[in-house]
Structure 1
Amino acid sequence: MSTLRDYFEDGPIPWTKQHILGLEYLSREEITLILDQAAEFSRLGELGITKHPLLSGVVVGNLFFEPSTRTRTSFGLAAKRLSADTVDFSPSGSSLSKGESFLDTARNIEAMGVSLMVVRHKTPGAPEFLSQRVASGVLNAGDGTHEHPTQGLLDLLTMRQECGSLEGKTVALVGDIRHSRVARSNIWGLTKLGAKVIVCGPATLIPPQIEKLGVEISYDFDAILPQVDCINLLRIQFERQRGAFFPSIHEYAHLFGMNRERLAKAREDVVILAPGPINRGVEITPEVADGAHSVILNQVSNGLAVRMACLYLLNRRQQQLLLQASTAEHV
């Protein structure tokens, strides 16, 4: 039986992070280590080895203060695949309605024996705020318009599988860049791995001065199609918008939607990604979403492997810190 290769030990650097709050805060080597460990979990999964005792006895708290289907389900399954116990929290029907604070809620859940917290919150910086006030390892599952690191990592893993090294590749992020935490995580991760990034969309949905993050800007999707290796189509964030950023859905789809005609203008081996949920007929037409160039379902599968890798690495770091504290007490 094939066994897990531990990139925590065998990787180019040791893993020293207690929290994963964003790809902005990870080095190229740390991102690569996560991707390599995720690829190993994926490899074992393809062999039918899906259950691992690596987090046996560990309790993972899934604290989702904002609605989620894919991310929440994926983290829950990732924890179970690693043999962890889980505590799930959602604000509906909780003590938050009675006036309990965000921090008190987290501390009470931590007191149940939780050592890893997966946190989604509508406020940018909420996971970082929590990481400074709890002993648990904190993993950001999306904080407002700031970052969504595991989505960025699963996108990177998917592109790496399709293209090999991302060094020198050109990736287009198309759509609602202004409101997208996925875009920010992608930008940080892709540029650190040596890819050229082009952000493309209506001028109203491109944040000012975003080129300072090392990206190029285009307002013409058709013009950049021949030069890109991967296209990541970002969902229009209707729930975060506070104004009319384009005249109509029809016009947006006409100018920035990925359809059969645009596919014909792109490279023959172009890779098309789209973080779910997708708005069919808006960012992407059904025949493209379900076509040969689409790796949307691969992204979902890779999300599980990435989240397993993140939980595994954070737990290893927690165990290191506990050992160091225990040793210090006996010195």
Structure 2
Amino acid sequence: MADAFFTALRPLVFRLDAERAHWLTVRALAAAPAAAGWIGEPVVDPVECLGLRFRNRVGLAAGMDKDARAVRAFARLGFGFVEVGTLTPRPQPGNPKPRLFRDVAARAVINRLGFNNAGIDAAVRRLESEPRECVVGVNIGKNRDTPVERAAEDYVYCLRRAHATADYITVNVSSPNTPGLRDLQDEQALIVLLDTIAQERERLADAQGARTPVLLKVAPDLADAAQHRIALAARERGMDGLIATNTTIERPPGLSAKVAKEAGGLSGVPLAPLAATALKSLRAACGADFPIIGVGGIDSPAAAHQRIADGADLIQLYTGIVYEGPGLPARLARALRDKVS
């Protein structure tokens, strides 16, 4: 029923500017979270990962609900967990508009939003004030105008604010839309950053009596050797898992010329092969027991099963919902539970 309704509504939604459609969707869900329940009961397929109990393996990737405005609604759509952000210490408007572009034929999106958000303080207050209906992750980054050599200060500030509230925290060093951010994936810069974060997290755990898992989100555009270095650094420097992957700056064949020329990160179906390759490389490097969340181009039961087979413990969606509609998370969670493709 939900899918049929979305199919009928999609032509109207796609007439809107992509960012406006996104903005309206999140605010509508935030205003009426109970309405999300008409899609059906959330799928219960419990899994233990990161020391947490997830309702099912299907999560919402960061970027959809940047400011934690609609977490309850997304939980009621059937997600087993929701990741908000990316959040920065100070509010920032992001990059100039237009900055979000659909390629409907390729089932892809290019974005150069640039960590537009109202700041981590506002988001944490919002999370603290609402009942928790699923596992919630908080994705953190640096402000655009923070020099790369001082980036650790931004991550530490966000870690301090989110540690007691988030179920897990994701360190985003892989978005292509903040100048210099991906430089933090270079080996020495990454080691310094991860050591700083790990030390602060242990201090917070001692002070608060609880240890919040911290994950590292990586890019799909790195060579195998770089992927292996990042995986080993994350494991050795105290991270609890990886997210594979962020968007890509590659432009695979099949994109429309008009969209392909836009700067920014590509997500959706064309990202899937790159994300899957990176996942397999990371899994080979860090071993079978290190948690990895797979994300990028997952839009069907077959794709979800394959990403789990490739080494993901959990999966996340974003662009798939744009093209498949709000019934997708429950459909995928049900398929993973029942092993139906």
TM-score (norm 1): 0.33
Work out which of the two has the higher radius of gyration on C-alpha atoms and give 1 or 2: 1
TM-score, normalised relative to structure 2: 0.32
